[in-house]
Amino acid sequence: MNNNLDVECLIESANQHLWQNYFAEKETQKRPSVLIRGEGIYVYDSEGKRYLDTFAALLTTLCGHGRPEVTEAVHRQMEKLAFFPGGYDFIMEPTVKLAKKLAEITPGNLSVTFFVNDGSEATEAALKMARQYHWARGEKSRHKVLFRRYSYHGATLGALSVTGLAGFREPFEPLMPGSVSVMPTRCYRCEMGMRPETCDLACLRSLEAVVQWESPSSIAAIIMDPIPGSNTGFPVPPDGYLQGVRELCDKHGILLIFDEIQVGFGRTGKWFCCENWEVVPDILVLAKGFGGGYVPIGAAVATTEVAEAFRVTGGFRHVHTFSGHAVACAAALTNVEIIEKENLVQRSAELGIYLRRRLEELYKHPIVGDVRGMGTLWAVEMVANRETREHLSPEGRAGAYVSERCRDAGMILRNNADLLVMAPPLIMTNEQADGMVGILDEAIRQAVEYLEL
Ligand SMILES: Cc1ncc(COP(=O)(O)O)c(C=O)c1O
């Protein structure tokens, strides 16, 4: 119990004055819990209830809550110099050190970082970088960007234009001209109804056809998330797909942008997800876990070759006041150093092996159709029929039901309809993983009973 907090008054003020994410009418009728504290993989509300957060505060708290190293780094930097804008004649230590650290941990010749404040801004910067890169080299016709259906790349108008989710796009259309959608790689729900064992990478062939149809010399970039995010439950691409995309880009002089906002920084058992297939993009987009949940920060990391094109043409025509904010960089640097020092990338790989085994036990429930993921990114897709993969009836709200039962049991679980997604902090122990799977198991069991399946 928190005696100093007038919870009722706070909720009333929130209902009247706070425009939360989404802000749907019906959600204002819900009584929210007031979170007051976080420690490790748990958060605590004003009633003293503890929640195991299986989604790491929207995929951000990779090292968990309450790390004193981060608090101290922020404090030290705030006392010395909180902020001075970059881009003129001045640089600041944490900003430079963080850029250097990124050059060390990112693959290939990714080496020069433009800092921003969140994921949407990072996508936005990458799109503009790609366009200006070609413009600077005299290829002014290259303006189009190809993106995959069902992938999310951000809320701002440019990032939204390359986001493949109709519900997010429709109220804001028309969006950026030259944004062209291509087929996703969702093997469990393949758009062409194929199976990965026999499809011969039909999704890659389809992408090649779109590139030809649109005319390669009009295309600035292809943007993709190497493993798409929680919206589609982390569908791991078939081997050869990302390598094929890289070859296609190289063949036609198209820049490849990887959005690793969800899947970077150890999530897949490598520092960066693309390393699982040894494919290096021209621009790597980062945010979320980059700041460990302590600060908002994002980045577009470019290869030396891409960055060099800007040095000779008067720089990137793109400015953010808070680009490279010293306090944000100090926090993010400490977050990355903790991941390094505590071998959390390796830990994520090990936890992935353990989680696969434990989560696959859930196939004992008839409504569990697919368990997929790697490292610390996992999804359980519930279906009406495992053979046909038919969806459960939306009226049953099975996913929401499971999520509510988990919350009753002290666990925060994200569901997108009947897709249950987990992305716990990299510091999760096997015992905590057992706790997570145990609560999920019981919640699915209750859903089967409730839905009379
Ligand atoms: C893959 C991906 N790209 C971009 C974004 C946008 O990031 P932000 O919400 O920080 O603007 C998100 C956010 O969920 C994301 O998951």
For residue range 388-440, what is the model confidence (pLDDT) as tens digits?
Answer: 999 999 999 999 999 999 999 999 999 999 999 999 999 999 999 999 999 99
Domain count, the chain: 2
Q: Where are the beta strands (DSSP E) in 375-453?
A: 377-382, 411-412, 414-416, 419-422
Mark which of 319, 341, 363 sits at the end of a domain: 341
Q: Kindly report the protein residue whose alpha carbon is nearest to atom 9 of ligand 1.
A: 119
Confirm whether 28 is domain-assigned. Answer: yes
Q: For a pocket test of ligand 1, which of 58, 116, 123, 288 has the largest count of ligand atoms closer than 8 A to its C-beta?
A: 288
Confirm whether 265 is domain-assigned. Answer: yes
Do 222 and 94 reside in the same domain of the chain?
Answer: yes
Q: Kindly report the protein residue whose alpha carbon is nearest to atom 4 of ligand 1.
A: 153
Q: Are 187 and 379 in contact (CB under 8 A)?
A: no
pLDDT digits (tens, 9 = 90+) for 336-366: 999 999 999 999 999 999 999 999 999 999 9
Mark which of 306, 341, 376 sits at the end of a domain: 341
Q: Rounded CA gap, 324 and 371, in Å? A: 39
Predicted pLDDT at 312:
80
Confirm whether 222 is domain-assigned. Answer: yes
* Mean pLDDT within 64-88: 95
Q: CB count, 10 Å around CB of 229? A: 23
3-state SS class at 181: strand
Confirm whether 207 is domain-assigned. Answer: yes
Q: Kindly report the protein residue whose alpha carbon is nearest to atom 2 of ligand 1.
A: 153
Do 98 and 167 reside in the same domain of the chain?
Answer: yes
- pLDDT category of residue 30 using cuts at 50, 70 and 90: confident
Does the beta carbon of 119 lie inside 6 Å of ligand 1? Answer: yes
> What are φ and ψ of residue 448, in 5° steps?
-60, -40
Do 183 and 95 reside in the same domain of the chain?
Answer: yes
Q: CB count, 10 Å around CB of 26? A: 6
Do 350 and 291 reside in the same domain of the chain?
Answer: no
* Mean pLDDT within 260-279: 98
Does the beta carbon of 53 lie inside 6 Å of ligand 1? Answer: no
Predicted pLDDT at 29:
63
Question: Which domain range does residue 202 map to?
Answer: 69-341
Entry pTM: 0.97
Predicted pLDDT at 41:
98
Do 183 and 260 reside in the same domain of the chain?
Answer: yes
pLDDT digits (tens, 9 = 90+) for 162-218: 999 999 999 999 999 999 999 999 999 999 999 999 999 999 999 999 999 999 999
Q: Kindly report the protein residue whose alpha carbon is nearest to atom 8 of ligand 1.
A: 119
Quote the percentage of the chain above a pLDDT of 90: 92
Joined tokens for residue 342: 């505590």
State the CATH number of the domain containing residue 444. 3.90.1150.10
Q: Residues 51, 287, 418, 24: is their CA dihedral positive or negative? A: positive
Does the beta carbon of 154 lie inside 6 Å of ligand 1? Answer: yes
Predicted pLDDT at 5:
85
Predicted pLDDT at 453:
74
Q: For a pocket test of ligand 1, which of 21, 118, 153, 297 has the largest count of ligand atoms closer than 8 A to its C-beta?
A: 153
State the CATH number of the domain containing residue 192. 3.40.640.10
Do 376 and 302 reside in the same domain of the chain?
Answer: no
Predicted pLDDT at 20:
86
Q: Rounded CA gap, 413 and 442, in Å? A: 13
User: What DSSP string runs through 199-261?
Assistant: S-SHHHHHHHHHHHHH-GGGEEEEEE-SS--GGGT--PPPTTHHHHHHHHHHHHT-EEEEE-T
Does the beta carbon of 124 lie inside 6 Å of ligand 1? Answer: no
| Residue 334 predicted with pLDDT over 60 | yes
Does the beta carbon of 259 lie inside 6 Å of ligand 1? Answer: yes
Cα of first residue to Cα of last residue in the chain, in angstroms, is 40
Do 337 and 347 reside in the same domain of the chain?
Answer: no
Do 73 and 57 reside in the same domain of the chain?
Answer: no
Q: Kindly report the protein residue whose alpha carbon is nearest to atom 10 of ligand 1.
A: 119
